[in-house]
Amino acid sequence: MNNSKRSVSIAGRSIVQDGPVFLVAETGTTSNGDMPTTLRLIDAVADAGMDAIKFQMINPEAFMSDRSVTYSYDWGNGQRAEENMFEMLQKLRFRDDEWHRISEHCRTHNLPLFATVDYLDGMKVAVSTGMVAIKIGSWDIRAIPLLRAAAATGKPLVLDLGPAHLSEIDRALEVIAEEKNDQVILLHCTHSQTDDEVNLRSVPYLANTFGFPVGYSADTRDDVPDLVAVGLGACMIEKRATLDAGFFGHHHNKALEPAELKEWVKKIRRAETQRGDYRVKPSREDLRLRTPFFVSLTAAREIAEGETIQRSDLVCKRPGTGLHPDLAHVIAGRTARRRISVDQQLSWEMV
């Protein structure tokens, strides 16, 4: 169990567990590998108030040994699409000069940029374009050379966990540490098809186990898990963004359109504010309402002067301006100094 509050710095922001949530728009597939679409997405993400935008730096030649694999996915409206995976990923690639153009456009919006990098040479492009961090995708948790190269850049790393077991996470962090890099954010991400397997309590568990900040990578449009993750202390939420959820292609139907993304940001910020502090802290309104709505020791019947007060003579009624109900055993057995009317609050002067 590791309860340290490790901080990771990205684009001048200190990211820590239970702190302000760093909101990242995932646009790696929804950019369609098309520059006009990509530039418009950057505009929309900046306008929505996101903290950063993330793309995918893809080279299927580097990680696919079988180029005949087909990939089937939900397109939307109850339809499914099937594509050759190698060809699909090739369409999402950007040239080096295009990455520089993307980076420059992000700078005009003061929008931090980073990418999931899935091949070794991509690390050089990530560095040359000034990306603020490097992400390692779920399927590369065991790609030791890639982990090592990413860590060696000295940039903060965001590590998707996906299907990884605890030992694989531990090994990945060990490799990163060997490169003297301690700037790591872990992302709980799941491709679960049912609510009972989303398991968002992984967020605090991972934070306590490894001592690194932990966030959540959302796989759907649903905002319920995002809000739960914020409540559980997530330091980062990654959400898919698209210009049009009806576009043909991978992940569009799982992404938020510009107006939806803007509303999502507002909702997440509200949840972040409502999460509050790890302590009991009644609100100002709660404290104001203590007096009229708390109860005090009150006479259950009229008690004559000189009469011994019985426990059954005392009840608890509003408002809370009199003696604490817990003093009933102290008052019982004492003598009334004067007549006490029914429903009259007791005070020390009366006994």
Mean residue pLDDT across the chain: 95
Residue 316 has pLDDT above 50, yes or no: yes
CB 271 within 8 A of CB 230: yes
Share of the chain above pLDDT 90, in %: 87
Q: CA 333, CA 322: separation in Å to the nearest integer? A: 19
Residue 3 has pLDDT above 60, yes or no: no
Give the pLDDT mean for 81-92: 88
- pTM equals 0.90
Calculate the alpha carbon distances from 313 to 121, 284, 331 in Å. Answer: 84, 34, 10
Mode of pairing for the β-strands spanning 314-317 and 296-299: antiparallel
Residue 4 has pLDDT above 80, yes or no: no
Share of the chain above pLDDT 70, in %: 99
Q: How much is the pLDDT for 88?
A: 86
Q: CA 31, CA 250: separation in Å to the nearest integer? A: 10
Q: How much is the pLDDT for 215?
A: 98
3-state helix, strand, coil in the chain (%, to 5): 40, 20, 40
Q: CA 170, CA 332: separation in Å to the nearest integer? A: 63
Higher per-residue pLDDT: 306 or 81: 306
Say yes or no: do domains 8-275 and 284-350 share a fold.
Answer: no
Where are the chain's structural domains? 8-275, 284-350
Confidence of residue 1 (pLDDT cuts 50, 70, 90): very low
What kind of fold does domain 284-350 have according to CATH?
A: Type Iii Antifreeze Protein Isoform Hplc 12 (3.90.1210)
Q: CA 270, CA 300: separation in Å to the nearest integer? A: 46
Residue 2 has pLDDT above 60, yes or no: no
Token code pair at residue 304: 């004559």
| Nearest CA among 209, 210, 204 for reference residue 230 | 204
CATH of domain 8-275: 3.20.20.70
67-76 per-position pLDDT tens digit:
999 988 777 6
Give the pLDDT mean for 315-331: 97
Give the pLDDT mean for 244-250: 86
Q: CA 334, CA 331: separation in Å to the nearest integer? A: 6
Q: CA 239, CA 265: separation in Å to the nearest integer? A: 10
Q: How much is the pLDDT for 180?
A: 98
* 5: region left, alpha or beta (phi > 0 left; psi from -120 to 50 alpha): beta
190-221 per-position pLDDT tens digit:
988 899 999 999 999 999 999 999 999 999 99
129-156 per-position pLDDT tens digit:
999 999 999 999 999 999 999 999 999 9
